[in-house]
Amino acid sequence: MFPMNQDGITWLLSPPDQSLALVLADNEFDVWIVSSRGTKYSRDHAYLKPEDEAYWDWTWDELAAYDLPATFQYVHGQTGQKLHYVGHSLGTLIAMAAFSKGELVSMLRSAGLLSPVAYVGEITSPLGRNAAKNFIAETLKWLGLHEFNPKGDAVTKFLKKMCAQPGVDCTNLLNSFTDCRTKTQSLSGLGKNCCLKPSIVDVFLDHEPQPSSTKNMIHIAQMIRDGTIRMYDYNDAGQNKKRYGQPTPPAYNIENIPKNVPLFLSHGGADSLSDVNDVNHLLRTLKHHDQDKIVVQFVKGYAHADFVMGTNARQVVYEPLMAFFKRH
């Protein structure tokens, strides 16, 4: 739908000589794989259950403020070494948000940002644009669906009912939810991927996309509509002030990422989630970054999923990424 919530198995879906995690391990990197909260392998909680509303009371704000720092601290504590970080899609957003606040950089050697997502106001995915425009996530939350499971019956039934209303055109939206197994190259509005084998799509759909919080979907929809990178907007000045100390949510200032942090950004010309115009906006924001500390790779034919499952991703993206890591 939007930058998707995925578990760590995404890095292992391709054959061993093509999966980034295994390619890194074969090149003597110590690899730690993380699953986002709410996904299949990351659903435990100290005292809440997935059935509880409070369990899903989070957005990517919390992933950047709590989950990613906890991950860095754990791996750094276990290894005593600074980390090379690799994120894809939502994983790039939470990293840039954290880095922009000066957090984690003391434990960071470099960061690889694949299909970087920061600004999403120019997103070209019909699914993402339609969902944001029609306030789909907000409606789901209002109906009491706090877990957003894109493969779940509740979401699909709601969409079918909504799309049956007169004057509502949900062609792209509904097809992406109900017919995704027939789309060997589309993968639910991610863009036309150039380099996926049809068989990998079935493997992907056996595991992904994973559940997220409906509140997180609302947050990303706000970003699409507003074209900004801000914290979650409660759409109530009192609530915002209680949470943030001001009537509007604070912005993430991406330009505040320390200019000497080595960054490798790789984006594609066919990516409808990490759109070229949005990535160019991000790059303008980073224009004062130390030029010897930033590498920007543009892969004309690549769409969103090619970066993690493309048959030639090792040669096109992973080999240059590893060379970058070794230089830093």
Active site residues: 89, 271, 304
DSSP count for the chain of H helices, then E strands: 15, 6
What distance in Å separates the CA atoms of residue 263 and residue 257, rounded to the nearest whole number? 10
* Amino acid, res. 66: Y
Q: Under DSSP, is residue 110 helix (H, G, I), strand (E, B) or coil? A: strand
24: which 2 tokens? 């890194």
Number of residues in the chain: 328
Do 183 and 262 meet the contact criterion of CB atoms below 8 Å apart? no
- The b-or-e profile of 241-252 (16+ CB within 10 A means b, else e) is eeebeeeebeeb
Preceding peptide of 209 cis, ω within 30°: yes
Residue 194, CA distances (Å) to 8, 83, 111, 309 in order? 23, 31, 25, 11
Strand partners, 71: none
Query: Quick one: which H or E segment has residue 88?
Result: strand 83-88
- Residues 6+ away with beta carbon under 8 Å from 154: 145
Sign of CA dihedral 161, 167, 171, 177: negative
What distance in Å separates the CA atoms of residue 188 and residue 127, rounded to the nearest whole number? 8
